[in-house]
């Protein structure tokens, strides 16, 4: 699953002031402060009140209608100035009532006022000038359908923090407007800088729980960030991400096998790929079986993305394996592999020994990929996780079947591990997992 980070930018001056929607003393207003519906300006005297610019005016009887675009002072010892719906100023004094609707030079209604000048009028007095303004509040992020919230700092602001709370690996995308001003936008994920390509897609993914910070130093106003779920969940190619510096090794790569490092150009796979911590290497291919190909290396890594990128260019929609031994022993004895929980094995049509011994001997692997197939093939899961002595979390949708699942968890000795399956298939796994494991019926797709 990927995420879209849409940074909306609109024309207009940056406003770093305070936004007021309640009472504020006129003497405390500062440049760039914004007044919106609900604000009330207090502290007005006979010679000290706000001067407004950019409005049209309607009298109390609503019959006399006039347009003005020259400054007008709102003063008087008994004056009351409040902002109604749409930012309309209501000016009450003695028995008179006037309303001033903020507008642009063509008298199109706006919705707020911004302090543009503080004028020295002598004798230690100052007059605040407020100008019609279009206020755009922050985009409010709503919980998604899973019920998890996205947190967003107060807006507008130049530093925005976004907490990624679901989907272990996520790409970010700049909106079209933000992409046009890309040079003014800096995005970091924890300590890692996020780079964006010409299509707006980030070169690297963001890990679940990472604090996102956006800094903007351009001349537009960033209104907010929208986080959206992208439905092409299977479109991320098989990716090995380095946790520590070292190498990623591909023994006996198949003809036509390619890799891309940190979003760069695709290159023919070589035996060893040097990586720094945080580097992401994606793999592609067209072979139907990778029997004999095996990943290894010195860098501690995690693996995620769609394994079907090894067999076809249209891998996002491919859920059919056609060759025996398709991914047999692919990660066998990869002792620096730590996490495969986000690796996608989407095939629902399996073949003989397709995943046989795939993770066998991965002694530091703690979390396994989900296995969504419900119809099994001969020896398809045979010794799949044998000798994975650190394995704690496994998801298997199918019922246990002797033969396809033989020795699937042999010597998986970690305590407090859990196998997740469906309520219908829970009973079939009883006695077929290590004795210190828990069987949970909470499988979710």
Give pLDDT, residue 53.
84
**pLDDT value at position 11?**
31
CA separation for the pair 283, 271 (Å, rounded): 13
| In contact, 212 and 163? CB cutoff 8 Å | yes
Q: Are residues 249 and 348 in the same domain?
A: yes
Of the residues 230, 247, 280, which one is the last residue of a structural domain? 230
Label the pairing between strands 418-420 and 438-440: parallel
Q: Which domain holds residue 163?
A: 2-12+156-230
Question: Residue 161 has what pLDDT?
Answer: 45
Q: Is 345 a member of any domain?
A: yes
- Provide the CA 134 distance to its chain's centre, in angstroms: 28
pLDDT averaged over 10-residue windows placed end to end, the chain, 445 residues: 35 55 87 88 80 75 61 84 89 84 86 84 70 68 41 39 47 66 71 73 65 59 42 77 96 95 89 93 95 97 95 88 96 97 93 97 96 95 97 95 95 93 94 92 74
- Is 182 part of a structural domain of the chain? yes
Would you state the structure tokens that stand for residue 321, as one six-digit string? 């394996």
Q: Say whether both 202 and 255 belong to one domain.
A: no
Three-state DSSP state, 361:
coil
Tokens 């399996």 sit on residue: 350
- Characterize the bridge pairing of strands 367-371 and 393-396: parallel
Same domain, 198 and 319: no
Q: Which residues contact 314 (CB under 8 A, 6 or more apart)?
A: none
Pair (119, 254) in one structural domain: no
**pLDDT at position 217:** 59
Query: Residues 42, 67: one domain?
Result: yes
Coil, strand or helix: which one is 26?
helix
| Residue 369 lies inside a defined structural domain of this protein | yes
Distance CA 444, CA 397 (A): 9
* Residue 17 and residue 33 in contact, taking contact as beta carbons nearer than 8 Å: yes
**Within 10 A of 254 (CB to CB), how many other CB atoms are there?**
18
Query: Considering 102, 133, 164, which residue would you say is the last residue of a domain?
Result: 133
Residue 130 phi, psi (nearest 5): -120, 140
Distance in angstroms (rounded) separating the CA atoms of residues 362 and 354: 18
pLDDT confidence of residue 335 = 97
Cis before 156 (ω within 30): yes
Is 95 part of any domain?
yes
| CA neighbours closer than 13 Å in the CB half-sphere of residue 407 | 14
Q: What b/e string do you get for 57-85 counting C-beta neighbours within 10 Å, with b at 16 or more?
A: bbeeeeeeeeeeeebeebbbeebebbbee
Looking at the fold, whether 296 and 423 belong to one and the same domain comes out as: yes
Same domain (yes/no): 8, 26: no
280/257 same-domain check: yes
- Give me the pLDDT at residue 190, please: 66
Report if residue 146 sits inside a domain: no
Same domain, 260 and 381: yes
- Whether 425 is covered by a domain: the verdict is yes
Judgement on whether residues 52 and 7 belong to the same structural domain of the protein: no
Phi first, then psi, for residue 411 (nearest 5°) are 60, 30
193 in Cβ contact with 186 (< 8 Å)? yes
Domain count, the chain: 3
Which of 230, 259, 287 terminates a domain? The answer is 230
The confidence score (pLDDT) of residue 108 equals 85
Q: Is residue 142 part of a domain?
A: no
One domain for residues 246 and 365:
yes
Q: Do 438 and 308 fall into the same domain? A: yes
């Amino acid at each position: 699953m990927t995420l879209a980070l849409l940074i909306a930018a609109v024309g207009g001056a940056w406003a770093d002031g305070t936004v007021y929607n309640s009472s504020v003393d006129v003497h405390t207003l500062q440049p760039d402060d914004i007044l919106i519906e609900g604000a009330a300006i207090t502290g007005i005297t006979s010679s000290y009140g706000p001067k407004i610019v950019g409005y049209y005016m309607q009298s109390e009887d609503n019959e006399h209608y006039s347009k003005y675009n020259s400054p007008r002072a709102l003063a008087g010892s008994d004056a009351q100035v409040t902002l109604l719906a749409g930012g309309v100023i209501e000016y009450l004094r003695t028995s008179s009532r006037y309303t001033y609707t903020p507008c642009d030079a063509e008298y199109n209604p706006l919705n707020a006022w911004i302090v543009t000048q503080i004028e020295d009028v002598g004798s230690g007095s100052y007059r605040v000038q407020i100008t019609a303004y279009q206020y755009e509040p922050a985009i409010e992020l709503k919980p998604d359908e899973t019920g998890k919230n996205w947190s967003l700092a107060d807006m507008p602001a130049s530093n925005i923090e976004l907490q990624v709370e679901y989907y272990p690996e996520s790409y970010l995308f700049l909106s079209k407007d933000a992409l046009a001003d890309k040079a003014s936008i800096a995005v970091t994920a924890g300590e890692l800088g996020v780079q964006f390509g010409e299509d707006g897609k980030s070169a690297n993914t963001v890990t679940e729980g990472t604090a996102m910070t956006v800094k903007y130093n351009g001349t537009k106003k960033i209104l907010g960030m929208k986080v959206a779920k992208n439905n092409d969940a299977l479109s991320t190619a098989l990716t090995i991400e380095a946790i520590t510096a070292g190498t990623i090794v591909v023994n006996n790569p198949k003809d036509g096998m390619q890799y891309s490092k940190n979003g760069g150009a695709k290159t023919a796979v070589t035996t060893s790929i040097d990586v720094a911590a945080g580097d992401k290497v994606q793999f592609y291919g067209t072979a139907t079986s990778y029997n004999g190909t095996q990943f290894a290396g010195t860098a501690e890594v995690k693996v995620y993305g769609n394994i079907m990128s090894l067999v076809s260019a249209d891998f996002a929609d491919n859920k059919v394996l056609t060759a025996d031994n398709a991914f047999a022993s692919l990660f066998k004895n990869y002792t620096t592999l730590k996490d495969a929980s986000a690796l996608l094995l989407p095939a629902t049509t399996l073949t003989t020994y397709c995943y046989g011994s795939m993770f066998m001997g991965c002694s530091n692997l703690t979390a396994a990929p989900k296995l969504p197939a419900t119809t099994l093939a001969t020896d398809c899961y045979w010794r799949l996780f044998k000798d994975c002595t650190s394995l704690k979390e496994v998801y298997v949708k199918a019922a246990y079947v002797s033969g396809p699942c033989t020795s699937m968890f042999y010597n998986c000795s970690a305590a407090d591990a859990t196998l997740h399956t469906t309520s219908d298939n829970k009973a079939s796994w009883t006695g077929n997992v290590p004795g210190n494991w828990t069987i949970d019926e909470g499988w979710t797709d």
